Chains A and B, each alone.
Chain A
Amino acid sequence: MSEVAIRINTPEELESLRDKVISARDPDATVVSVCTGPGCLAYKSHLVAENIEAELEKHGLADKVRVSRTGCHGFCERGPSVVILPRQTCYLRVKPEDAEEIVKTTLVEGGVVERLLYEGSDGVKIELEQEIPFYKHQDKVVFGVNKYIDPMQMDDYLAGGGYRALAKALTKMTPKEVTEEVTKSGLRGRGGAGFPTGRKWDATSRVEADQRYVIVNADEGDPGAYMDRGILEGNPHSVIEGLMIAGYAVGSTEGYIYVRQEYPLAIDHVLYAIDVLRGMGLLGENILGSGFDFDIKVHKGAGAFVSGESSALMSAIEGRVGEPRPKYIRTSVSGLRGKPSSLNNVETMANVPLIIDRGADWYAAMGTEGSKGTKIFSLVGKVLNTGLVEVPMGTTLKQIVFDIGGGMRGGKKFKGVQTGGPSGGVIPEAQLDLPVDFDQLASAGSMMGSGGMIIMDEDTCMVDVARYFLDFLADESCGKCVPCREGIRQLVVVLKRITAGEGREGDIALVEDIAEMMKDSALCGLGQSAPNPVLSTLKYFRDEYIAHIEEERCPAGVCKPLIAYWIDPDKCIGCQKCAKECPVDAISGEKKEPHTIDMEKCTKCDTCFRVCPTKVQAVTKITRAEAEKLGAPRQVEEAGA
C-alpha cells in the first residue's frame, strides 16, 4: 500500500503533494475498477480482483495496469461490476473464473468480452458504463467518484481534489462565511427531516460554550436502505472532510462518527482514513497551519433503530442507553455531554466539500426551489434494476422507477413505491409523475426519509406492508413514552387481525384514531411518524383493507391465512417438480398425471408455486373461500405469533 506518510503543514504543501500524486499517474493508464461493495462481495468480487491481478502478473502487465478495489458502483443487481478505466468498459455479473478472459481479451488484445456486457431487454449489448440506461439517466455528483476510489488509498481521494475544500475553508474563509455558503447552497439534511444544514450549524455556533461537537450519523436504520453504507464504505474521506469543515464552521475541536456495528467494513475504512490523516497532520493540532485543531472519534452503534434519533444518538455516545429525550432544549444548545452539538447524516456531510469547493451557486443550480442538489436512493424491491441511484432533486418517480429502474421484474404491474422507511409512506401509481423532493413527498403523505425506495408490484399486499413496518417499530420503540409504546402495540394487534382475516367492522376507524393520537403526542420522531405507513396505505389502498376485512380476501395473495395453494388439474402436466421440492410432502400424484395438494398438510411455503414451470403455471393461489369450498380447514393465526 503506497500511502503518503509525509506531514502536510500548509495548503501549498497539500497542493504540491496533489501535483506529485497526479503527475505520477498516467491519465491514460488502464485501471481495472472492481466493485467490492456489499452486493458484489456477496458474489465473491474479492476473488475477481485477486484473479485479475494474478492474470495480469502472468501476462507481464502487473506494472502497467492497476486493479482498484472500490466501493459500490451502484448497479448491484448485476454485480459483481468491473469497470475498465479510462474507457469505461463495463462488465457485469463477473465471476472469478472470468478473470482470464477479461485480461486476455480486453487488457492484452484490446477487445471486448461480449458475454459480460450489459444486455437490455431488447437484446442489444452496451459496452460503455455511461450508456447503460441504468446509469445514463443519473447525475452522480456525490456517488459517481466511488469507482475511482479505493477507500484504502488516500492518493485516490487526493487525485480527485480531496481536502481542497478543507484548505479553502480553513485559510480563505471565516467559520461564519463557511456556514453562510452552506446556507446559501440550500443544502438540507439527508437523514430524514430535511432540516437546512447551514441553519443548524449557525444555531450551534451561536451558543456560548467551551466546547461544541459535530457528529456524523451513520446509523442508517431504515431496513432496506444502504446509501450511507455505500458512501462511507466507498469514500470515507468525503464524509470526514465534510465533518472537518462542519467542525470549523461551528467552532468544534472534536468530531464523532456514529456507525452501526453491522457495517464492519465502513468502520475499518473510516478508522484507517483517520489514521492516515493523523499521520499527515491533517487531523490534530494546527491543521494546515491555520490554527484549527480537530480530531475524530468513532463510536459503534450496537443495534437500535431509535438510537439514530439525534438526542438518543448523543446519549449512546456517552455510553448510556440510546433513548430520545424531550426536546424543550435543542441538541444544538445542549447535546453531547450537555454541549452544543450538531448532527448530520453521512450523505449531508459528503455534499459539504463539493459545496465549499465549487460554490453555493453551482450547487443551488441543481434541484428544485425548496430542495437543492441531488439525492441518492436505494432503489430496491420488485424493480428490474436494483441498486444505488443518484438523481437531481425534482426527478420524477416515473423516471426513477422506469427509466433507471427499467420497470417491474417479470412483466408485473407497478403498484406503489414506499419511501421514507418506517416513518414514510407508499405512493401509488397515479402519482408517478410526482417530482421527488422533500416537500412533494411530504405533501403526498410520505417523506424523503434517508432515501430508501422500495418498489412494489401487484403481488405486494399493502396491508401486509403496513403491518411489517409496525412490527418492526414495535421491536424498536424504546418504550419510554406511552403513545408510542402502546399505540404501536395496538396498531399491530389490529393489523395482524386484519391480515389474518379476522378483521372487524370499525377496525379502520380504530386504526385512524390511534394514529392521530400518536402523531400528536409521541415523544420523538419514531412514534410521531410510526403511523405514516398505515395512514398512507389507507389513503391510497383502502379497498385492500376492505377486501381483507369484509371478504376475507388478500387481493395480492400474500397473507397466508387468506390464501391456499391448489393445482389446476387441467394445467398440470405431472412433471413432479413440486412434489419433489415440497418440504412437508403435501403433494401427491403419479408421473404425467395431475397432482394434488393436501391442504391440511400444506404450510403455504410457496415452494410449489415457484417451481411450477412458467409455461405450465398449474399451481394457483386461491382465496380462503375457494379453499373452504374444496374442503380445506380454516387456518387461524397462532396466538401471539
Chain B
Amino acid sequence: MLETMGKVEEIIALNDNDKERLIQILLELQKEFRWLSREVLERVGKKLDVPINHIYSLVTFYSHFSLVPKGRHVMSVCVGTACHVRGAERLLDSVASAVKCKPGCTTSDEKFSLDTVNCLGACALGPVMVADGEYMSNPTPDEISRKVESCE
C-alpha cells in the first residue's frame, strides 16, 4: 500500500500537481496498476484538491479506465466496422466461450479479461484480435482454445 501511494504521489508530481492534467494522471495510474482502486482515486483527489465525485465522473465516462482489477491475460477483440462486416461478432462469441467470461469482464480468478476495441489499424487482417499482445487474424475456435490453454 505504501509503495502504491508513493507511486501515486510520484506520478502526480511528475505532472506538476496540475489539476488540468487529471485525465493524464489517471491514464498513467491505470497503466501502472492496470486498474484504479478507491484508495488510489481518493489520494489523487486529496493531492489535487478535486472532489472524489468529479474523479468518478471521469473514470466512469472514459472507457479506458477500469475500477476492478484486470486479468493477467487480456484478450482484445476488435469490433470496428471493418472487422464487424467480416464476422467480429462471431469471433467475440468464440473467445467469450473459450475464456468463459463476457465482453468487458474479468474472470473471477483474475486470469482473463475480455475487452472489445474499435479498430486496431489492422483491418486488412479482420476479424482480428490481440491475445496478450499477439495479433491473431480470423482464428478458428480451435486456435483460440489452444491460445487460451497456453496461458498460465
A contact residues vs B (CB 8 Å cutoff) = 37-39, 42-43, 76-77, 79, 221-226, 229-230, 261-262, 299-300, 302-304, 307, 316-323, 378, 380-382, 386-387, 418, 421, 452, 454, 456, 460, 465, 468-469, 472, 478, 581, 583, 603, 605-607, 610-611
Contacts and interface: CB of A to CB of B under 8 A. Distances in A.
Max count, chain B CB within 10 A of own CB: residue among A223, A261, A321: A223
A224 B64 contact: no
Contact of B81 (A38, A224, A229, A261): A224
A429 B141 CA distance: 34
B70 to A, nearest CB: 14
B64 A302 contact: yes
Interface string B30-69: 0000000000000000000000000001100111110000
Report, nearest first, the 3 A-B pairs whose CB atoms are least far apart: A38-B121, A224-B81, A223-B118
B123 A224 contact: yes
B23 interface: yes
Nearest to B65: A302
Nearest to B145: A583
A303 B124 contact: no
29 contacts: A37-B121, A39-B125, A76-B123, A223-B81, A223-B119, A224-B81, A224-B119, A225-B119, A261-B64, A262-B117, A300-B27, A302-B27, A303-B64, A321-B61, A322-B62, A380-B81, A380-B123, A380-B126, A381-B85, A381-B123, A386-B82, A386-B123, A386-B124, A454-B81, A460-B85, A465-B85, A583-B94, A605-B90, A605-B141
Interface residues of B, number: 45
B99 interface: no
Nearest to B87: A606
B120 interface: yes
B81 A39 contact: no
Contacts of A378: 82, 123
Contacts, number: 134
A472 to B, nearest CB: 8
Interface in B97-120: 97, 117-120
Interface string B1-45: 000000000000000000111111011000000000000000000
B87 A42 contact: no
B80 interface: yes
A610 B61 CA distance: 39
Contact of A226 (B22, B123, B142): B123
B63 A319 contact: no
Contacts of A381: 81-82, 85-86, 123
A224 B82 contact: yes
Given A418-B81, A468-B84, A581 B121 contact: no
A614 to B, nearest CB: 16
A113 B26 CA distance: 50
Contacts of A225: 119
Given A319-B21, A319-B22, A386-B82, A76 B61 contact: no
Contacts of B58: 302, 320-321
A449 to B, nearest CB: 11
Nearest to A230: B121
A379 B80 CA distance: 13
B93 interface: yes
Contacts of B142: 581, 583
B77 interface: no
B85 A454 contact: yes
Nearest to A378: B123
Contacts of B87: 606
A334 to B, nearest CB: 17
Given A322-B61, A381-B82, A226 B119 contact: yes
Contacts of B81: 222-224, 380-381, 418, 421, 452, 454, 468-469
Contact of A603 (B26, B79, B93, B124): B93
B151 interface: no
B18 to A, nearest CB: 8
Nearest to B26: A302
Contact of A299 (B24, B61, B90): B24
A321 B57 contact: yes
Contacts of A39: 121-125
B128 to A, nearest CB: 8
A318 B50 CA distance: 13
Contacts of A380: 81-82, 123-124, 126
A386 B126 CA distance: 10
A389 to B, nearest CB: 12
A76 B124 contact: yes
A469 B85 CA distance: 12
B24 A300 contact: yes
Given A452-B81, A454-B82, A229 B121 contact: yes
Contacts of A77: 124
Contact of B19 (A226, A319, A322): A319
B83 interface: yes
A611 B140 contact: yes
Contacts of B86: 381-382
A583 B123 contact: no
Given A386-B124, A478-B61, 11 more contacts: A37-B121, A38-B120, A39-B122, A39-B125, A43-B135, A224-B81, A299-B23, A302-B23, A302-B65, A469-B81, A607-B140
A261 B27 contact: yes
B89 to A, nearest CB: 8
A581 B141 contact: yes
Contacts of A468: 81, 84
A323 B87 CA distance: 32
A384 B142 CA distance: 26
A224 B90 contact: no
B12 to A, nearest CB: 13
Contacts of B23: 299-300, 302, 316, 319
A467 to B, nearest CB: 10
A606 B122 contact: no
Contacts of A224: 80-84, 118-119, 123
Nearest to B90: A606
Given A223-B80, A262-B117, A605-B93, A304 B125 contact: no
